[in-house]
Amino acid sequence: MKRIGIIGGMSYESTLHYYEEINRQVNERAGRLISADLILRSVNFEEYHELMESGDWQKIDDKLSREALGLVHLGKCDFVAIATNTMHKVADHVGGLLLLPSDMALRMDIPEDIPLVDIPLIHIGDSIAEKCKEVGAKRVLLLGTKFTMTEDFLKKRLAEHKIETIDLSRHSKDADEIDRIIFQELCRGVVTDESADFLVDFIRKFPTDSEPEPDAIILGCTELDMLIKSESIMGQRKKIPIIDSTKAHIESIVKHCLSD
């Protein structure tokens, strides 16, 4: 079994689900009393949220890089995962640091005599893409924070897998409301019928509001599954599958953990 390194706490609600589900799946596959060999670094999300709002992604990059390298060198983890979609905005650089030696390590205060090795970062975008391929989805509606919905860090990753994302520029007010629900409610453990109804209504109108309609709906925020539990939303002409990024990411983590 490989040792998992998780950077969590963004938010604690979704990290709870990561911890519980990773262990459940590992035990389900391995049996007996086996649970995951896992180190969880849960950060103070408020610090990161303030940096997000001020646009200081370089500071976020530096902080997450330190956390990732700490899991590898101090925790002796065999691979790392960031338990949130939005922070994958800096995932390419954080993941790259786990592969590069000397000068990068020194900048992050890792001792020069500790070599960096080929430690993978399990990217949530690749996990989502695998699920898209399973259901044959080539054009998707990507939901999440305003960063995930309006910026291209996840969209580009999906594009590398030949998956197109729908432009939400005509739905800025709806995107703002989804972002508000995530940060002001779900990240604090608040789940309301009103917010659930809003999200379901928003999804249901897309088969008629988008041409052609999406092949799948991506819950591209690790808290959104708190609002939607069904596996599909009925469109006018067909059922559109829902892909939960959290579940997809967890499956990839467990698969890598047990790959020996």
What pLDDT does 97 receive? Answer: 67
Q: Helix, strand, coil: what percent of the chain each, to 5?
A: 55, 15, 35
What pLDDT does 203 receive? Answer: 82
77 is an active site residue = no
Q: Please check whether residues 57 and 163 belong to one and the same domain.
A: no
Q: Please check whether residues 130 and 231 belong to one and the same domain.
A: yes
- Using CA atoms in the order 219, 220, 226, 227, what is the torsion angle rounded to 10 degrees? -50
Report how far residue 119's alpha carbon sits from residue 72's, in angstroms, rounded to the nearest whole number.
Answer: 8
Which one is catalytic: 15, 84, 148, 246?
A: 84
Which one is catalytic: 77, 187, 221, 257?
A: 221
What pLDDT does 69 receive? Answer: 86
Tell whether omega for the bond before 65 is within 30 degrees of 0, i.e. cis: no
Report how far residue 6's alpha carbon sits from residue 50's, in angstroms, rounded to the nearest whole number.
Answer: 22
221 is an active site residue = yes
Q: Please check whether residues 91 and 134 belong to one and the same domain.
A: no
* Letter string b/e over residues 90-114, b meaning 16 or more CB atoms within 10 A of that residue's CB: bbeebbebbeeeeebbeeeebeeee
Q: Please check whether residues 131 and 220 belong to one and the same domain.
A: yes
Q: Please check whether residues 226 and 134 belong to one and the same domain.
A: yes
The tokens describing 149, both together, are: 């919905």
Report how far residue 203's alpha carbon sits from residue 218's, in angstroms, rounded to the nearest whole number.
Answer: 10
Q: Please check whether residues 27 and 112 belong to one and the same domain.
A: yes
What pLDDT does 207 receive? Answer: 52
What pLDDT does 102 receive? Answer: 41
Provide the 3-class DSSP secondary structure of residue 193: helix
Is the distance from CB of 41 to CB of 71 less than 8 angstroms?
yes
Provide the number of structural domains found in the chain. Answer: 2
The number of beta carbons lying within 10 Å of the beta carbon of residue 155 is: 21
Q: Please check whether residues 173 and 73 belong to one and the same domain.
A: no
Provide the 3-class DSSP secondary structure of residue 6: strand
Q: Please check whether residues 182 and 236 belong to one and the same domain.
A: yes
Domain hosting residue 53, numbered range: 4-123+249-257
Tell whether the torsion through CA atoms of 85, 138, 25 and 234 is positive or negative.
positive
pLDDT tens, the chain, 260 aa long: 999 999 999 989 889 999 999 999 999 999 999 999 999 999 999 999 999 999 999 999 989 988 998 898 888 899 999 999 999 999 988 877 665 444 444 455 555 554 555 688 999 999 999 999 999 999 999 999 999 999 999 999 999 999 999 888 778 888 899 999 999 999 988 999 899 889 888 887 765 555 677 889 999 998 888 887 655 555 544 678 899 999 999 999 999 999 87
User: Quick one: three-class SS letters along 25-58?
Assistant: HHHHHHCCCCCCCEEEEECCHHHHHHHHHHCCHH
Under 8 Å CB-to-CB from 37, ≥6 apart: which residues? 1, 2, 3, 4, 257
What is the CATH number for 176? 3.40.50.1860
What pLDDT does 18 receive? Answer: 96
